[in-house]
Structure 1
Amino acid sequence: MSSNVVSMHGHKKADTTAAAVDRLQALVADQMKEVNATILKRMESPVALIPELAGHLISSGGKRLRPMLTLASAKMVGYEGKRHIGLATAVEFIHTATLLHDDVVDESTLRRGKKTANLIWGNQPTVLVGDFLFSRSFELMVESDSLRVLKILANAAAVITEGEVLQLTTANDLKTSEDTYLEVITAKTAVLFAAACEVVGVVAEGGKEMEEALESYGRFLGIAFQLVDDALDYSARQATLGKNIGDDFREGKVTLPTILAYRRGSDEERKFWKRTMERRKQEDGDLERAIQLINDHDTLNDTLERARHYGARAKDALAIFRDSEAKEAMIDIVDFCISRAY
């Protein structure tokens, strides 16, 4: 590991929990085939560019974690219907649409180790295909024949956009509070995790306690997931995950590692952060300096400590469900999400 990249030492190593994804995939494999078939079917369009562009991202090796959580939740609560197949597809379409839009907004060039759609086809087709996928997701929601499901997923889609806009307003603002940061990541990431699980409680007709437990699990897992993502942006692990190190820094995106480093820094260090993040005047060597300051103030480990806290809350939310293979898999996925940092 190069000396200018932060090393993050954790409780669990990635190789001990990576199998959690394999177990979850095996658990829902048959239903995931149905979801994948539905994805392909609903991506069809006489306009050839739409399935081509959408397929570029959908087939790019993402783990499909959110739809898998929908399927695993259904298994855990003993739901035996079919409505969760369409809902898992709707969740994946919402997620894919937001990624397409995010890459345009962030001017990203790399996603999961591949060139982004906006880099290949341009911004306009990418945004429009994202809109197409949102529309398809709403069709699938309506087909669930549940106004409550429609409300949960439609609200999630709206809140994700609010989170992205809030992030734009806090970009380059080093005075962003940790509470505002948590508000941003809850909206842009955790809300979809929450909805992916909560809708299962609705279609399973499990009552308020079940719905709330599933929603809490998804929300806390989503917060932990994003905290780890934001820590990874300053870590050598990022390169192994097919992403550039320091994208957030280059974009002036204020995340918890930088919020904490700015607060703990000397006057001279704060001047550095203001120049590079607020005024976006960056020079060669600035990313290395940022990583060094983050290392000096131990802000990555503190970010991961918070992720572990939310991960523990996610696991506790599942306490109302009886022990099962599905429940165990959903607990293990929490450890996997956090272990990505190590």
Structure 2
Amino acid sequence: MGVVLNLEGSKRENASIEKLIELTHKDMARVNELILSKAGSDVQMIPEVANHLISSGGKRLRPMLTLAAAQMFGYSGDGHVKLATSVEFMHTATLLHDDVVDESDMRRGKRTARMIWGNQASVLVGDFLLGQAFRMMVEVGSLEALDILSAAASVIAEGEVMQLGVAKNLDTTEDDYLAVIKAKTAALFSAAAEVGPVIADASKTDRAALRSYGTNLGLAFQLIDDALDYGGNTKDLGKNVGDDFREGKVTLPVILSYRRGTGAEREFWKSAIENDQSDDAALEKARGLMAKHGAIGDTIGRARHFGEIARDALAPLPKSAQKNALLDVIDFCISRVT
């Protein structure tokens, strides 16, 4: 019998992003049109690979953050549509590259692009999308927005390299891991939330509020992903449960379980993570040790902590439909664990 990990108390009733979707649906229709347009190319393989991932059912949360944040401060141009599309292309490019680095077979319930077209095509199409993203940023004409998003692109790449450095390394500390996910995941959430108020000429204080909101939302989002890899299911994850374990990723549930374990348990983790002894039986044992030491619950607790910081970041801002929608996003991200 499989181990059941206790995720009780982690879900808020009726948490959804419906308000965000409703507020941004007209602008998102324009974003979707622009995505299809900018993903086009005379080189046949480029739109094939790009559309495989773009059309695979992602919620497009990050571009919706950009749109809602711009609306919140009264922006009335069309630059937010181009920036939101740039954000989505950056995210898509990162996924294409990640799947190559991680040797992933599934993404959002479908075969990864690298499994269909190969690693080289996945990397190069990711590079094409990054190029298109930067072209759109330049078209917007905001040097500050360009600076924020280009800086995020650099930080994300640094985060990916940092992750390689901690792969299979059980000496990784919680602080080390938080630094990795702050770079590889939270940086894009932060930039997506901040560029909206930037092009709306919001105050530096308001920009900082959205930047903090995005950073902490991104940390919470990734920590819930960490928990889901051991406590979720394939349908919700869009990938195989235990992929992080099989790939030897030292995520927070592993760090906590290893630190809290007995000598014998630590030897198990070394065998599983460092020596690739990570079959289905080992995965069940890993889940059992996480349950024993409360690693999943504490990972969710950390996510809640960062979610509350994100909530506090928005507290000084005036009441608005957009603010309420962004607050709902926090609950939605954390409620993905069931």
Structure-1-length-normalised TM-score: 0.96
Matches within 5 A, 1:99-138: 99-138=95-134
| Residue identity matched to 1:196 | A
Selected match of 2:191 from 180, 191, 195: 195
Question: Who is 2:144 aligned against?
Answer: 148
Question: Who is 2:211 aligned against?
Answer: 215
Question: Who is 1:306 aligned against?
Answer: 302
Does structure 1 conserve the Cα–Cα contact (< 8 Å) formed by 2:86 and 2:136?
Answer: yes
1:260 aligns with 2:256: yes
Question: Who is 2:9 aligned against?
Answer: 10
Residues 149-202 of structure 1: per-residue CA shift (max 9 Å, x gap):
111101100100100100000000111011110000000000000000111121
1:270 aligns with 2:269: no
Residues 179-229 of structure 1: per-residue CA shift (max 9 Å, x gap):
110000000000000000111121111121011011000000000000000
Does structure 2 conserve the Cα–Cα contact (< 8 Å) formed by 1:5 and 1:288?
Answer: no
Return the alpha-carbon distance in structure 1 between the equivalents of residues 279 and 216 of structure 2: 37
Question: Who is 1:317 aligned against?
Answer: 313
Q: Aligned-pair distance for 1:5? A: 3.7
Distance 1:165-1:122 versus aligned 2 partners, 3 A rule? same
Question: Who is 2:165 aligned against?
Answer: 169
Q: Aligned-pair distance for 1:234? A: 0.2
Does structure 2 conserve the Cα–Cα contact (< 8 Å) formed by 1:76 and 1:321?
Answer: no
Return the alpha-carbon distance in structure 2 between the equivalents of residues 52 and 146 of structure 1: 31
Matches within 5 A, 1:176-187: 176-187=172-183
Residues 102-127 of structure 1: per-residue CA shift (max 9 Å, x gap):
00110101111011000011101111
Q: Aligned-pair distance for 1:133? A: 0.2
Does structure 1 conserve the Cα–Cα contact (< 8 Å) formed by 2:257 and 2:293?
Answer: yes
Question: Who is 2:77 aligned against?
Answer: 81
5+ unaligned residues in a row in structure 2: which ranges? none
Selected match of 2:333 from 325, 334, 337: 337
SS in 2 for 1:172: coil
Does structure 2 conserve the Cα–Cα contact (< 8 Å) formed by 1:5 and 1:236?
Answer: no
Question: Who is 2:22 aligned against?
Answer: 26
Distance 1:24-1:283 versus aligned 2 partners, 3 A rule? closer
SS in 1 for 2:14: helix
Q: Aligned-pair distance for 1:6? A: 1.7
Does structure 1 conserve the Cα–Cα contact (< 8 Å) formed by 2:73 and 2:200?
Answer: yes
Selected match of 1:57 from 53, 56, 72: 53
Return the alpha-carbon distance in structure 1 between the equivalents of residues 190 and 70 of structure 2: 14
Return the alpha-carbon distance in structure 2 between the equivalents of residues 52 and 71 of structure 1: 27
| Residue identity matched to 2:185 | T
Return the alpha-carbon distance in structure 2 between the equivalents of residues 52 and 186 of structure 1: 31
Question: Who is 1:38 aligned against?
Answer: 34
Return the alpha-carbon distance in structure 1 between the equivalents of residues 6 and 232 of structure 2: 7
Return the alpha-carbon distance in structure 1 between the equivalents of residues 279 and 331 of structure 2: 37
Residues 24-50 of structure 1: per-residue CA shift (max 9 Å, x gap):
111110000011111111111001110
State the identity %.
57
Residues 53-93 of structure 1: per-residue CA shift (max 9 Å, x gap):
10000000000000000011112222122111100000000
Return the alpha-carbon distance in structure 2 between the equivalents of residues 36 and 188 of structure 1: 24
SS in 1 for 2:231: coil
Q: Aligned-pair distance for 1:261? A: 0.1
Q: Aligned-pair distance for 1:279? A: 1.8
| Residue identity matched to 1:6 | L
Return the alpha-carbon distance in structure 2 between the equivalents of residues 10 and 68 of structure 1: 28
Question: Who is 2:239 aligned against?
Answer: 243
How many matched pairs? 338
5+ unaligned residues in a row in structure 1: which ranges? none
Return the alpha-carbon distance in structure 1 between the equivalents of residues 199 and 327 of structure 2: 22
Does structure 2 conserve the Cα–Cα contact (< 8 Å) formed by 1:189 and 1:223?
Answer: yes
| Residue identity matched to 2:70 | A
Distance 1:27-1:286 versus aligned 2 partners, 3 A rule? same
Does structure 2 conserve the Cα–Cα contact (< 8 Å) formed by 1:239 and 1:245?
Answer: no
Deviates more, 1:276-285 or 1:196-205: 276-285
